[in-house]
Amino acid sequence: MEDLVYRSEQPNRLLSDFIESFWMLDNPSGDKEVVLLPDGRIDVIFSQSARDPFHIVLLGIGTHPEQIILAEKTKIFAVSFNVLAAEYILHESVSDLVDGAKNLPSDFWNFSIEDFNDFDKFCQKASEKINEQLLIQKIDERKRKLFQLIYSSKGAFSVKELSKKVIWSERQINRYFNKQFGISLKSYCGILRFRASFGHIKEGKLFPEQNFSDQSHFIKEIKKLSGFLPKELSQNKNDRFIQFSVLPKK
């Protein structure tokens, strides 16, 4: 969507297990109807518009496409978290926020509408708040390793393989995932495979390049998570389909 202004910044190395990116989105022109596709992140969204001066929202993991309207003159600053951050940064389960959201206090992390003046300073302030949370607790290294494997493989490992690599039973891993995030590990890995595939589909590559068993499985999984066949996604009429993680950085 050429008239949208999008920018993304990576966290420093010490935060990379918990933060995927900081990003901003500015829609200076008219209302736009878009379809948001699942990408495996949880997000804290800070937004302002002519209709809503300032509010902060926590988004849980998405498992299906969501049609939304980006209102004219909407500006968004956001922190996209790897899901381990729910426990260690946000200190809460997001299991009841699957495909949902909740409002956060208007003074969350001491942010205010004045912080919309400078995206770089927003990133710095958010990084400092996150660092403060990490300094006061000990991270379970088994969980850290689990998520490093999940993300580095783009969801390609099976639950059984992950269980062996981190020496944590499949049953315990799935109990943790369902309690903390509201979905199974297998389902989450499927979302990450879809996310990696969407970038290929946008390039017109309509055959699986991730860990799908065959073409039929690929098509079924893509349609389940996007609502459309790979060919329809590749055409992307009117630039309707969006994964913020694969938008070009302007």
198-242 residue pLDDT tens: 767 666 666 655 566 677 777 777 777 777 777 777 765 445 445
Give one word for 225, left, alpha or beta, with left for phi > 0 and alpha for psi -120 to 50: alpha
The answer to whether residues 187 and 225 belong to one domain is: yes
Query: To which H or E segment does residue 45 belong?
Result: strand 42-48
Domain boundary (137, 170, 202) is at 137
For residues 191 and 219, membership in a common domain is answered with: yes
Domain co-membership, 154 together with 94: no
- Residue-level pLDDT at 115: 92
Residue 109 lies in a domain: yes
Same domain, yes or no, for 10 and 133?
Answer: yes
Residue 118 covered by a domain: yes
Task: Tell me, yes or no, whether 93 lies in a domain.
Answer: yes
Is 210 part of any domain? yes
Residues 117 and 184 in one domain: no
Of the chain, the end-to-end C-alpha distance in Å amounts to 11
Please report whether residue 250 resides in a domain. Answer: no
Per residue in 42-89, pLDDT (tens digit) is 999 999 987 778 999 999 999 988 888 888 889 999 999 999 999 999
Tokens representing residue 140 in the block: 């379970």
R_g over Cα of the chain: 18
Same domain for 123 and 145? no
For residue 195, the model assigns a pLDDT of 86
CA 94, CA 178: separation in Å to the nearest integer?
A: 10
**238 in any annotated domain:** no
Say which CATH number the domain at 155 has: 1.10.10.60
CA dist 125 and 119 (Å) reads 10
Q: Is the per-residue pLDDT at 160 higher than 90?
A: yes
Report yes or no on 218 lying in a domain: yes
Q: Which of 14-18, 19-23, 34-38, 177-181 has the lowest mean pLDDT?
A: 34-38
Contact 244, 195 (CB under 8 A): no
Cα–Cα distance, 232 to 65 (Å, whole number): 14
Helices (H), the chain: 85-88, 119-135, 141-152, 159-166, 170-181, 185-202, 215-226, 230-235
Question: Does residue 106 carry a pLDDT above 50?
Answer: yes
Is 48 within 8 Å of 54 (Cβ atoms)? Answer: yes
Q: What is the mean pLDDT of residues 26-42?
A: 86
Residue 83 sits in which domain range? 5-137
Question: Which pLDDT does position 22 carry in this prediction?
Answer: 97
Residue 112's domain is classified under what CATH number? 2.60.40
* Residues constituting the chain: 250
Residues 125 and 176 in one domain: no
Could you give the angle at which helices 185-202 and 159-166 cross, rounded to 10 degrees? 110
18: which 2 tokens? 């918990």
Burial code (b: 16+ CB inside 10 Å, e: under 16) for 156-179 equals bbebeebbeebebeeeebbebbee
Q: What is the pLDDT of residue 220?
A: 79
Mean pLDDT value across residues 130-143:
91
Q: How far is CA 189 from CA 115, 210, 211, in A?
A: 35, 11, 10
Give the Cα separation of 21 and 245 in Å (integer): 9
Q: How many domains is the chain partitioned into structurally?
A: 2
Q: Who wins on pLDDT, 140 or 229?
A: 140
| Residues 111 and 26 occupy one common structural domain | yes
According to the model, what pLDDT value does residue 209 have?
A: 59
Same domain, 98 and 20: yes
Does the pLDDT value for residue 250 go beyond 50? no
Give me the amino acid identity at 145.
K
- Order of all β-strands in the sheet with 241-242: 66-70, 32-36, 241-242
Domain termination residue (choose one: 88, 113, 137):
137
Residue 26 lies in a domain: yes
pTM of the full structure: 0.85
Is residue 14 located within the same domain as residue 48? yes
Residues 79 and 169 in one domain: no
The span from the CA of 62 to the CA of 38, in Å, is 5
87 and 16 part of one domain: yes
Tokens of 149: 């494997």
